[in-house]
């Protein structure tokens, strides 16, 4: 009995490791069709809805360059204060660091107006149910996640970030 269980475990490990790196085939309904760069180009205008698993796939495909993800909402007063800091940072670090917004528990029209009013240059996705926000372990807004080029989280920040704190974390992110 124990030998049979060990064989089953060994088979599962071999099967899993042989599939490592494989990606499922893309379909026309796949939000990431065409790859991460094509998706982000569409996301600039569309605010596409993502679930947590698609969010993770997107970040996996963005490996190779650091990524800063800012969770925000149009109704979030501190988000209004911190957004100009991210706009300025994206302009300064745009070739070296990718920036992505995640609009949490919000409606499309106010979210788009928020982005347009602040002339935000980087794309945002919609998290209308708060699934991404919650699965990342946050409780309020705004929140920021700093991903190294290899895809691991180097730091998180809960609440509004100051210009000095953002600058310090971006420099550490580039050095990672």
CATH of the domain at 110: 3.40.30.10
Query: Assign residue 151 a region: left if phi > 0, alpha if psi is -120 to 50, beta otherwise?
Result: left
Tokens 């957004």 found at: 83
Report if residue 89 sits inside a domain: yes
Report if residue 9 sits inside a domain: no
Report if residue 130 sits inside a domain: yes
Report if residue 24 sits inside a domain: no
Burial-class residue 61 by CB neighbours within 10 Å (0-12, 13-18, 19+): middle
Report if residue 85 sits inside a domain: yes
pLDDT digits (tens, 9 = 90+) for 152-172: 999 999 999 999 999 999 999
Burial-class residue 79 by CB neighbours within 10 Å (0-12, 13-18, 19+): buried
Give the integer Cα–Cα distance in Å for 55 and 68: 13
- Report the candidate in 169, 158, 160, 151 with the shortest Cα–Cα distance to residue 57: 151
Number of compact structural domains in the chain: 1
Report if residue 90 sits inside a domain: yes
Look up the domain containing 154 and give its range.
35-175
pLDDT digits (tens, 9 = 90+) for 101-154: 999 999 999 999 999 999 999 999 999 999 999 999 999 999 999 999 999 999
The confidence band for 29, taking pLDDT boundaries of 50, 70 and 90, is low
Asked whether residue 66 carries a pLDDT value surpassing 70, the answer given is yes
Max Cα–Cα distance, the chain, nearest Å = 66
Report if residue 57 sits inside a domain: yes
Report if residue 7 sits inside a domain: no
Provide the whole-model pTM. 0.81
């Amino acid at each position: 009995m124990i030998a049979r269980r060990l064989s089953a475990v060994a088979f599962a490990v071999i099967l899993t490791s042989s599939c490592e790196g494989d990606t499922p085939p893309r379909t026309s309904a796949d939000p990431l069709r065409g790859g991460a760069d094509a998706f982000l180009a569409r996301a600039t205008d569309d605010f596409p809805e993502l679930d947590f698993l698609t969010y993770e796939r997107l970040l996996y495909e963005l490996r190779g360059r650091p990524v800063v993800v800012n969770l925000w909402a149009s109704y979030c007063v501190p988000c209004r204060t911190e957004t100009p800091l991210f706009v300025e940072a994206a302009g300064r670090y745009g070739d070296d660091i990718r920036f992505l917004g995640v609009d949490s528990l919000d409606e499309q029209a106010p979210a788009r107006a928020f982005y347009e009013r602040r002339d935000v240059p980087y794309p945002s996705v919609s998290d209308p149910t708060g699934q991404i926000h919650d699965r990342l372990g946050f409780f309020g807004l705004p929140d920021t996640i700093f991903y190294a080029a290899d895809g691991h989280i180097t730091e998180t920040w809960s609440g509004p970030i100051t210009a000095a704190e953002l600058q310090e974390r971006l420099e550490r992110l580039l050095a990672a």
